Amino acid sequence: MDCLNEVTLDHGWTLLEYDQVDSTNRMLVELAKVGASEGTCLSTQHQTNGRGRLGRTWTDLPGSSILFSILVRPSFSIENYFAVPCALSVALVETLVDLGLNARIKWPNDLLIGSAKLAGMLSEIGDKPDDRFFVIGLGINVNQSEDELIELGRPATSIRANLGYWVGHDKAHDILLKLIARFQQFYLELQASIESSMALFLERYKSYCSTINQFVSVELNDNEAVRGIATDITGMGHLVVNTENGIRTFAAGEVYHLYGY
């Protein structure tokens, strides 16, 4: 598990590249706890124990995905941390649009093309008052074939499936560097002026979010799901759903778009 390469990025940020790790999120959380600096990014070709949302696992075939995590130490209050994955989602949509891909966000932070998932995001927080940090991990399907995607057992897609060609290592690396650079610019704007930048990113996030105006099911736990029309995202990043029992707002949960995408 030796670091293969260390890439120096703008503003003192660093990308540590590995061949194989258990989970980039787990490793970066551990590094954060022993003082790793803001802007430490960690990527790998393969994870043996990738973490997904809601306690799930995130599996990959070696070399098939962009798998990376990024550490930030926001100076703004913890209630506004949701703006960080929101900014990363916006950065990812815009990076993919530059590749010719029409990506959309499914609330809170799944990236879809059509109704199929291209990427997932997992945020982990360190909330000791004297050592706050935020690690955001992103798994992007890059080179999975149609057959491999079907095997995942849920609607999924990859960059290759959309562009129609294998994405080489250098190109995948270039996509990652462009994504980090874009996110860095957004994040520095958030750090400079959280209130105004957050409002701007939220508007951009909403313009890319395909959940709004969908008939959705929000699964809260194994026994409870709420259905209705998703109408908005609040200033705190929560989902607003118009249900038959009135308006409800959700801070978390798994959302299914019941019709369309």
Q: Which of 181, 178, 135 is nearest to 30 (CA)?
A: 135
Is residue 51 a contact point for ligand BTN (CB under 6 A)?
yes
Stretch near ligand BTN under the rule CB under 6 A, chosen from 120-128, 179-187, 199-207, 232-240: 120-128
Contact 51, 122 (CB under 8 A): yes
Burial of 217 (0-12, 13-18, 19+ CB in 10 A): middle
Q: How far apart are CA 127 and CA 62, in angstroms?
A: 33
Is residue 142 a contact point for ligand BTN (CB under 6 A)?
no
Stretch near ligand BTN under the rule CB under 6 A, chosen from 48-56, 92-100, 158-166, 237-245: 48-56
Is residue 132 a contact point for ligand BTN (CB under 6 A)?
no
Is residue 182 a contact point for ligand BTN (CB under 6 A)?
no
Candidates 120, 228, 237, 253: give the one binding ligand BTN (CB under 6 A): 120
Contact 50, 57 (CB under 8 A): yes
Candidates 39, 74, 85, 137: give the one binding ligand BTN (CB under 6 A): 137
Structure tokens at 94: 């815009």
- Kindly identify the residues of this chain, within the stretch 58-77, that bind ligand BTN according to CB under 6 A: 58, 67-69
Stretch near ligand BTN under the rule CB under 6 A, chosen from 84-92, 137-145, 150-158, 188-196: 137-145
Return the DSSP state at 202: H
Name the minimum Å distance from CB 219 to ligand BTN: 13
Query: Given the complex with ligand BTN, which of 41 and 197 has the nearer CB atom?
Result: 41
Q: Which of 98, 88, 101, 109 is nearest to 190 (CA)?
A: 88
Is residue 139 a contact point for ligand BTN (CB under 6 A)?
yes
- Kindly identify the residues of this chain, within the stretch 213-252, that bind ligand BTN according to CB under 6 A: none
DSSP characters over 132-200: EEEEEEEEEE-S--HHHHHHTSS-B--HHHHHSS---HHHHHHHHHHHHHHHHHHHHHHHH-HHHHHHH
Name the minimum Å distance from CB 116 to ligand BTN: 13
Is residue 56 a contact point for ligand BTN (CB under 6 A)?
yes
Return the DSSP state at 57: B
Is residue 211 a contact point for ligand BTN (CB under 6 A)?
no
Stretch near ligand BTN under the rule CB under 6 A, chosen from 135-143, 225-233, 238-246, 251-259: 135-143
Name the minimum Å distance from CB 230 to ligand BTN: 18
Residue type (1 letter), 73: R
Q: How many CA atoms lie within 13 A of 183 on its CB side?
A: 28
Q: Could you list the residues that contact ligand BTN (CB under 6 A)?
A: 23-25, 47, 50-53, 56, 58, 67-69, 110, 120-122, 137-139
